[in-house]
Amino acid sequence: MHHVITGGAGFIGSHLAEALVAGGHAVTVLDDFSTGRRANLAALEGRAGVTVIEGSVQDPAVVARACEGAEVVVHLAATVGVKLVIDRPVETLVNNVRGTEVVLEAASRLGARTLIASTSEVYGKLMSGPSSQASLREDDDILIGRTSVRRWGYACSKALDEFLALAHATEHGLPVTAIRFFNTVGPRQLGEYGMVLPRFVEAALAGRPIRVHGDGTQSRCFHHVADSVQSLLAILASPAAHGQVLNLGSDREITMLDLATMVREETGSASAIELEPYEAAFGSGFEDMRRRVPDLGKLRALLGPQPVRDVRSIVRDVVAWQRSRT
């Protein structure tokens, strides 16, 4: 089958492209290389059935050319990463919403099986404290913060992407699924846009202080990109996933202080772990969630048990990849 991956030179996209090619599929990668890296596609260079197109998902002509003859469209291209979102709010909103609009229009014309990347950020302020609900379900109402906080612009842009996807499913019969990713991590992810695990590992290997935002007791759940890719392949093959919104991630929590400690252990680093106020990192008014834990019941009901590696093995993979770059 012919698959198109927007943002295919990015972190998740490049891993998915490799898995599809290994499975005998043709793959067209569309990427503007603003955050995606050509080095991520090194394993696909010269492979039969692989096409790389440099261009923007906001350009209908480029998207139409990339999608020509496609049977599957996976839309991963977006402005992501907390630092990038805070620093470039206009780009975030326009790229995420306009790009998704263009891709969905092209996919609907083709009737292609479609995946749209969403995010756990759409839950907004839900699970903001330690006594909040045990996990976040796809049918929970969402609670977005005020418009003066730039973080919530990103959340709203991805929520609107979901609305657009489901509207195309209703009006045009598009077989589309929206995927709410929860902290996907692994080799090839860089820390320059605020991603926490590679940022910790980079600091530890360089002997710099590992800076933990806030008081460090906030927790997240990390999912290895290889596990995410296996689940994405299963979702693509499941007609029951059409018209659905699905959480994708791990439900095993770890605090940021514990994560920093684990990174220091796995790197053998003597780096100090230092707390940094949110205001120092992101400016005044930044809001963070204390916990962010997905309910994976819907995913498991559709697909059965999904692969979830433990956090320490994920950290080891990220450390090994970072070391291989030096």
Q: Is 154 a catalytic residue?
A: yes
Question: Quick one: pLDDT at residue 288?
Answer: 84
State the pLDDT at residue 127: 77
Cα–Cα distance, 150 to 157 (Å, whole number):
11
Residues in the chain: 326
Half-sphere exposure for 315 (CA within 13 Å, toward CB): 23
Q: Say how far apart CA 314 and CA 201 lie, in whole Å.
A: 12
Phi, psi for 280 (deg, rounded to 5): -70, -30
Q: Which residues contact 227 (CB under 8 A, 6 or more apart)?
A: 250, 306, 307, 308, 309
Q: Where are the domains of the chain?
A: 2-185+223-251+291-308
- Which residue type does 181 have? F
Alpha-carbon dihedral angle through residues 160, 234, 250, 30, given to the nearest 10 degrees: -50
**Residue 200 pLDDT:** 97
Can you give the pLDDT of all 326 residues of the chain as single tens digits? Answer: 999 999 999 999 999 999 999 999 999 999 999 989 999 999 999 899 999 999 999 999 999 999 999 999 999 999 887 778 888 899 999 999 999 999 999 999 999 999 999 999 999 998 765 545 679 999 999 999 999 888 899 999 999 999 999 999 999 999 999 999 999 999 999 987 779 999 999 999 999 999 999 999 999 999 999 999 999 999 999 999 999 999 999 999 999 999 999 999 999 999 999 999 988 877 777 888 889 999 999 999 999 999 899 999 999 999 999 999 87
What is 2-185+223-251+291-308's CATH topology? Rossmann fold (3.40.50)
* pLDDT value of position 281: 79
Active-site residue, selected from the candidate residues 123, 154, 193, 278:
154
The C-alpha atoms of residue 201 and residue 294 are separated, in whole angstroms, by 25
237: helix, strand or coil: coil
Cα three-residue angle 194-196-198, rounded to 5 degrees = 95
Instruction: Write the CB contacts of 290 (distance below 8 Å, at least 6 apart in sequence).
Output: 127, 128, 129, 130, 132, 217, 218, 219
- Distance (Å, rounded) from C-alpha 62 to C-alpha 4? 12
Tell me how far apart the alpha carbons of residues 230 and 147 are, in angstroms, rounded to a whole number. 36
Distance CA 308, CA 296 (A): 11
CB 263 within 8 A of CB 204: yes
- Contact in structure between 244 and 299 (CB atoms under 8 Å): no
- What is the distance of C-alpha 108 from the center of its chain? 23
E strand segments, 134-218: 176-181, 184-185, 210-213
Task: Give dist(CA 302, CA 306) in Å, integer.
Answer: 10
Q: Cβ(223)–Cβ(249) under 8 Å?
A: yes
| Region of 183 on the Ramachandran plot (φ > 0 left; ψ -120 to 50 alpha; else beta) | left
**pLDDT at residue 292, as a whole number:** 93
Contact 126, 182 (CB under 8 A): no
Query: Distance (Å, rounded) from C-alpha 184 to C-alpha 119?
Result: 10
Q: Quick one: pLDDT at residue 132?
A: 53
Residues 7, 63: Cα–Cα separation, whole Å: 12
DSSP SS3 for 212: strand
